[in-house]
Amino acid sequence: MNSQETSPGPPPLGVAMIGYAFMGKAHSNAWRNVASYFDVPAFERRVLVGRDPAGVAEAAAKYGWAESATDWRAVLDRDDIHIVDICAPGFMHAEIAIAALSAGKHVLVEKPLANTLAEAEAMAAAARSAQDKGVQSMIGFNYRRVPALALARELIAEGRLGTVRHVRAAYLQDWLVDPDSPMTWRLSKETAGSGALGDIASHAIDQVLFLLGDQVTEVTGRLHTFTPSRPGPNGPEQVTVDDAAWATLTLASGAIASVEVSRVATGQKNSLKLEIYGDKGALLFDLEDLNELGFLDATLPVREQGFRRILVNEPEHPYLEAWWPQGHVIGWEHTFTHEIRDFLLAVGSGTQPSPSFEDGLAVQRILTAVEESAAARSSLIQLTPSASTTQTTTTEGA
Ligand code: SOE
Same domain, 275 and 211: yes
Pocket test for ligand 1, best of 86, 87, 194, 200 (most atoms within 8 A of CB): 200
Which of helix, strand or coil describes residue 241?
coil
Please give the distance, rounded to the nearest whole angstrom, from the Cα atom of residue 217 to the centre of ligand 1.
Answer: 26
What pLDDT is attached to residue 397? Answer: 42
Report CA 107 to chain centroid distance, whole Å. 16
Same domain, 368 and 241: yes
- Using 70 as the pLDDT threshold, list the residues of the chain that sit under it: 1-8, 379-380, 389-398
Same domain, 51 and 101: yes
What pLDDT is attached to residue 2? Answer: 52
What CATH number is attached to the domain comprising 132?
Answer: 3.40.50.720
Boundary of a domain, candidates 107, 142, 177: 142
What pLDDT is attached to residue 55? Answer: 98
Please give the distance, rounded to the nearest whole angstrom, from the Cα atom of residue 200 to the centre of ligand 1.
Answer: 6
Q: List C-alpha distances in Å: 388 to 45, 195, 223.
A: 68, 38, 30
Same domain, 127 and 177: no
- CB of 25 closer than 8 Å to CB of 68: no
Same domain, 21 and 63: yes
Same domain, 134 and 161: no
Same domain, 235 and 366: yes
Residue 22 forms part of a structural domain: yes
Residues having CB closer than 6 A to ligand 1 are 22, 173, 199-200, 203, 270
Residue 125 forms part of a structural domain: yes
Boundary of a domain, candidates 111, 142, 173: 142
Please give the distance, rounded to the nearest whole angstrom, from the Cα atom of residue 79 to the centre of ligand 1.
Answer: 33
Same domain, 179 and 267: yes
Whose CA is closest to 25, among 336, 360, 342, 271? Answer: 336
Same domain, 62 and 202: no
Same domain, 23 and 135: yes
Residue 325 forms part of a structural domain: no
- CB of 346 closer than 8 Å to CB of 130: no
Q: How many Cβ atoms are within 10 Å of 373's Cβ, its own excluded? A: 20
- CB of 127 closer than 8 Å to CB of 358: yes
Residue 318 forms part of a structural domain: no
Residue 383 forms part of a structural domain: no
Q: Counting Cβ atoms within 10 Å, is residue 332 exposed (0-12), middle (13-18) or buried (19+)?
A: middle
Return phi, psi of residue 4, to 5°.
-145, 145
Residue 273 forms part of a structural domain: yes
What pLDDT is attached to residue 208? Answer: 98
- Domains identified in the chain, total number: 2
CA angle 237–200–278, rounded 5-degree value: 150
Whose CA is closest to 362, among 252, 287, 244? Answer: 252
What pLDDT is attached to residue 4? Answer: 52
| pLDDT tens-place string over residues 117-169 | 999 999 999 999 999 999 999 999 999 999 999 999 999 999 999 999 999 99
pTM of the shown model: 0.94
CA angle 177–181–183, rounded 5-degree value: 120
Residue 234 forms part of a structural domain: yes
- Nearest ligand 1 atom, CA 332: 10
What CATH number is attached to the domain comprising 198?
Answer: 3.30.360.10
Same domain, 166 and 238: yes
Same domain, 365 and 239: yes
Residue 233 forms part of a structural domain: yes
What pLDDT is attached to residue 1? Answer: 42
User: What is the strand order of the sheet 292-297 is part of?
Assistant: 216-224, 244-251, 256-262, 164-172, 271-278, 281-286, 292-297, 308-311
Looking at residue 244, its amino acid is A
List the domain range (segments joined by +) for residue 36: 13-142
Give, using CA atoms, the residue closest to atom 6 of ligand 1: 199
Boundary of a domain, candidates 119, 142, 165: 142
